[in-house]
């Protein structure tokens, strides 16, 4: 459920391998926009920061270091807390940070210059569908492999840790934002994803196998 340029070459593979891309596709969302949404209309790059929907109980793993690393940068940081209500935490955030429990990614990602994430497979592919380069901090579950593929594909930087330092995160974010090759590679992956068959390709493969 990916595309060729996001998967290592496997010479000598005997069984046929089909790349069908992620099964989901972007669609128009009816999720309400936060009241700060128009703040994204300025010229500053938007950086999306998220720890996903499961591993988001400890913001010190990724969200807080990312906020600290980007506090002095000329960017708008958008933090998706994925359901957590955090009024006390939000009160102490730098002025360039905006937060929401849920965000319509199909509306946000076309505006996004960089996604900082812990490397969930679905979230990474959602970003790549929109040609958004990544900084990935993940070293457990499938996240280590996802981060490695982000680095290998040239679509971003994998940090090989669940708890990157402020300095490491800041350096990685600045590099991805400054070097156009990362966005170019993410854009190439977006083109492959758009051309992939997704769920229709999967159904066709099952039907072909069933009737063979």
Q: Sign of dihedral through CA atoms 42, 47, 53, 58?
A: negative
| pLDDT for residue 28 | 56
| pLDDT for residue 84 | 63
The domain spans of the chain are 42-211
Is the pTM of the predicted complex or chain greater than 0.85?
Answer: yes
C-alpha angle 144-147-152 in degrees, rounded to nearest 5: 120
DSSP for 115-167?
A: EEE---HHHHHHHHHTT--EEE---STTHHHHHHHHHHHTSEEE-S-SS--HH
What's phi and psi for 91, nearest 5 deg? -65, -25
What's phi and psi for 77, nearest 5 deg? -95, 125
| Beta strand pairing call for 46-50 and 76-80 | parallel
Here the tokens at position 95 are 């002025």
Does domain 42-211 fall under CATH 3.40.50.2000? My reply is yes
| pLDDT for residue 107 | 92
Candidates 85, 132, 92; CA nearest to 111 is 132
Q: Would you state the torsion angle of the CA atoms of residues 32, 48, 2, 177, taken in this order, to the nearest 10 degrees?
A: 140
Here the tokens at position 141 are 């579950």
Q: What confidence tens digit (pLDDT) does each residue in 64-117 have?
A: 999 999 999 999 999 998 776 677 788 889 999 999 988 889 999 999 999 999
Residues of the chain with pLDDT under 50: none
| pLDDT for residue 185 | 98
């Amino acid at each position: 459920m990916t595309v060729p340029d996001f998967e290592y070459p496997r010479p000598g593979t005997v069984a046929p391998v089909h790349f069908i891309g992620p099964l989901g596709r972007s669609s128009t969302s009816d999720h309400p926009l936060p009241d700060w949404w128009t703040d994204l209309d300025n010229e500053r790059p938007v950086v999306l920061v998220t720890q996903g929907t499961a591993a988001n109980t400890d913001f010190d793993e990724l969200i807080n270091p990312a906020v600290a690393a980007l506090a002095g940068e000329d960017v708008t940081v958008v933090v998706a807390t994925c359901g957590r209500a955090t009024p006390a935490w939000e009160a102490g955030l730098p002025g360039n940070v905006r937060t929401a429990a849920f965000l319509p990614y199909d509306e946000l990602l076309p505006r996004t210059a960089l996604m900082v994430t812990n490397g969930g497979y679905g979230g990474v592919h959602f970003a790549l569908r929109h040609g958004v380069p990544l900084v990935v901090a993940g070293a457990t579950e499938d996240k280590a492999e996802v981060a490695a593929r982000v680095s290998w594909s040239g679509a971003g930087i994998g940090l090989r840790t669940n708890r990157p330092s402020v300095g490491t995160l800041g350096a990685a974010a600045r590099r991805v934002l400054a070097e156009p090759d990362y966005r170019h590679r993410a854009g190439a992956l977006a083109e492959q994803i758009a051309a992939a068959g997704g769920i229709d390709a999967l159904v066709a493969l099952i039907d072909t196998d069933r009737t063979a």
